Amino acid sequence: MGEPLKIGSRTTLKVEDVTTGGEAVGRVDNFVLFVPQGAPGDELEVEVVELRKNYGRARINRIIKPSIRRIAPPCPVYHQCGGCQLQHIDYDAQLFYKTKIVKDSLEHLTGLGPVKVHPCRRLEDPWHYRNKVQSVVSVKPYLPPGTKVGQGKERFRHCIGLYAQGTHRVVKVDECLIQDSLNNRVLQAAREAMERLQWPVYNEKDGSGLVRYLVTRASYSTREVLLVVVAAQPRLPQVQEFLNHVRRRVPQLRGVLMNLNPHQTNVILGTRTQLLWGKDHLVEEVSGLKFQISPTSFFQVNTRGLLQLYDILEHYCDLRSKDTAVDLYCGVGSLSLHMAKRAKRVLGVDISQEAIEDAVVNSDLNELKNTDFIAGASEKVLPQLYRQGQRFQLALLDPPRKGCDTEVLQVLGRMRIPRVVYVSCNPASLARDLQILGGLGYQTQEIQPLDMFPQTYHVECVARLTLTGDAKGLRS
């Protein structure tokens, strides 16, 4: 046993694994330390920065011996930004550890029985995949210690970037390597125009200033892009000059909008959006389906990954022409419409009225007559459908990170829907809900992890369940 660890202690450890949040984990005298940007197999000298009863956190002071899985991250601000957590680990190893994270989430649960977890599906090109970005506008970017700051005008140039993880320090990002290249080009063009026109940047401390954020969305299929300027005041000065500059710099730009957000809040978008020029939406085409999407629409941020998700759903849903399906948490209908190509009828449910309106538009855009959509919370709508006597052969669940409301799972157990397909972006909440469904008579047959978010710790999962037993876990 060595000296007890204290804040500021330096020690050596060997990294054993990667955790759900992307941190590496190692042990010192059997005491767990989490280390950001460590790679399994690294031998590190670390400095302890946080201590709890059962674990601590440390930062890397020196890499004594690098892991064979460690690579040089290509992003110049990777160590400051925090938007990515795994760029320092080679892509094959990222996929291995994402598969392991899913398996580990299921390991200690009872009642599931043996579950086949397939290797995580790779994205053919794990860069420039995000079709949407929300960037912070600032004049005071975060600079690592020791960085020299220019004088005069150079010191107060506009910059765009992302918040450093867990802070409100803005890290200047000139080109994000996981963003669509069109998004990067539009952001730089907007920065140049704002700087030339001397638009004042919003100050979150006192609420003064004008420009807060820039939001862009690109279409993978049409190679067009939209820009939203999020402002604290209802009028942008010299707006025509701004439009002329960004349109000249990016010919693929199809629309510029202004969103008004005057409130001192962490929420990015306000409730009012005004079209300044062009169109307020793009059309994305995926697997023969067209989707009308606005900058604020909920749509999968990885269009290429959505193609792979469709391929998995084709197999797992196994829909026939006589089947009816319910899609809970359906968003703008991207999965509902894919099922509607095979099913007799698909009913989509989502709590967002705006998303449901988009889903109806998208259904009409594709001339699909066998879809219906309901705006409302799934935990309230599904019991109503049950009381009305509606029955389905398939339920598709695609909830937010927190997972399904318990009432949704209970009603599924009462409805005795033969097949359930669960799409999740959080292995922990997926595992919890699969255990609950196991008590309601559902057997989890297989899980396919999918890398929708390369270079980050996030992993998408698709689980296939079938009704095989009694609903012993039903509440009375």
Tokens of 427: 């292995």
Could you tell me whether strands 442-450 and 419-424 are parallel, antiparallel, or unpaired per DSSP bridges?
unpaired
**Is position 176 annotated as part of the catalytic site?**
no
- Determine which one of 75, 176, 330, 425 is catalytic: 425
Residue 257 CB neighbour total at 10 angstroms:
22
CB 287 within 8 A of CB 315: no
- Nearest Cα to Cα of residue 398 among 342, 440, 450: 450
Looking at residue 54, the DSSP 8-state letter turns out to be S
Residue 357 CB neighbour total at 10 angstroms:
14
Could you tell me the strand order of the sheet in which 371-375 lies? 116-117, 442-450, 460-467, 419-424, 394-397, 324-328, 345-350, 371-375
What sign has the CA pseudo-torsion 162, 165, 168, 171? negative
- Rounded Cα–Cα distance for residues 451 and 39 (Å): 19
Burial of 41 (0-12, 13-18, 19+ CB in 10 A): middle
Token pair 């730009």 is found at 253
Q: List the beta bridge partners of residue 135.
A: 214
Tokens of 38: 């460590």
Active site residues: 425
